[in-house]
Structure 1
């Protein structure tokens, strides 16, 4: 039951491009404010628009910093959640494998039970295992008998109940 979990902490290209454009704009505005200030260095005689440009530039820089911090926080949270998902995934496998072992399933029955848990129907299991549907049905009957269940729903219920009870054996 391989579930592929990818951990990707890269910054999305569109967001990186947006931040780069914002930084270029901020650099341009800083240069413009500095050039305007040099042209008119007396603080009391600053034109109104120079003050607005300075505030807008500082606001843009502040927004970039906040945006970067928020993005880094989201990337850390994503990595943490992906790590938790890996741990949960491993725990689910352990619980299911423990049930299969306690039921003493043969290797073929174990394969069929795994595909059953994944949601494949009889025809799909037969196709994947390259065997007849009758063979899959025979394995399913053995699995149900060994697990004390009568059908897929009951089997999944036993496994899910076990997961919800913290992995306690219910077989």
Structure 2
């Protein structure tokens, strides 16, 4: 769920909490005013209003707990996303170091991983498309893969393997 949508959900919950709190205050005030008037049939009316007010208060408490959980979940997801980005960057650097890629090959390899086509890479780097194709061939040879899809699969397999290790540790 995008952060903006989560923020809207949190804001909506906050508005509901405020509305329910105001309703509860109204009913509590109404009960107090009715108690001062006193009539036999009024007691049933007061009991119903008191139950409704208690229900609203319970709803406010429940929504406050839900809002807090939602805020904590969003913070946790943002932390996890930052960690995943950091792990991916470390993984990329590890493989690039292991393969002995030059700085220009690293740039090209990173753009390949991002899904950028050779012509666009050449344009962004200010080089000829043939130069980029040659760099791609060197990258694939150093990584011992046959092309873009295999290069990407090396990273995905490693990320999934790390993710499974972390999942297994958490489950144990």
- With the length of structure 1 as denominator, give the TM-score of the two structures: 0.82
> Which residue does 1:145 correspond to in 2?
141
Question: Alpha-carbon deviation of 1:33?
Answer: 1.0
Give, in angstroms, the shift of residue 30 of structure 1. Answer: 1.2
Moved more, 158-167 or 50-59: 158-167
Using the alignment, how far apart are the partners of 2:76 and 2:54 within structure 1? 33
CA offsets per residue over residues 44-96 of structure 1, 9 Å max, x none? 77431211111001100111101110121122122122212222221121111
Instruction: Verify the 8 A CA contact 2:10 2:71 in the aligned structure 1.
Output: no
After the TM superposition, which segments of 4 or more aligned residues of structure 1 sit over 4 Å from their partners? 5-11
Q: Pick 1 or 2: higher relative contact order, CA cutoff 8 A, min separation 6.
A: 1
CA RMSD of aligned residues (A): 2.6
Q: Higher helix share goes to which structure?
A: 2
1 CA distance for matches of 2:105 and 2:142?
A: 10
1:160 aligns to 2:156 (yes or no): yes
User: How far 1:101 sits from its partner (Å)?
Assistant: 0.9
Moved more, 61-70 or 149-158: 149-158
Structure-2 separation of matches of 1:9 and 1:164: 27
Which residue of structure 2 lines up, in the alignment, with residue 12 of structure 1? 10
Residues 66 and 6 of structure 1: CA distance in aligned 2, closer, same or farther (over 3 Å): closer
Q: In structure 2, which of residues 113, 122, 129 is the aligned counterpart of residue 126 of structure 1?
A: 122
Mapped contact 1:9–1:79 kept (Cα < 8 A): no
Q: Are the equivalent residues in 2 in contact too, given 1:7–1:82 (CA < 8 A)?
A: no
Gaps of 5+ in 1: none
The answer on whether the counterparts of 2:10 and 2:67 sit within 8 Å (CA) in structure 1 is: no
Q: After superposition, where does 1:102-121 map in structure 2 within 5 Å?
A: 102-121=98-117
Compared CA separation, residues 165 and 12, structure 1 to 2 (3 A): closer
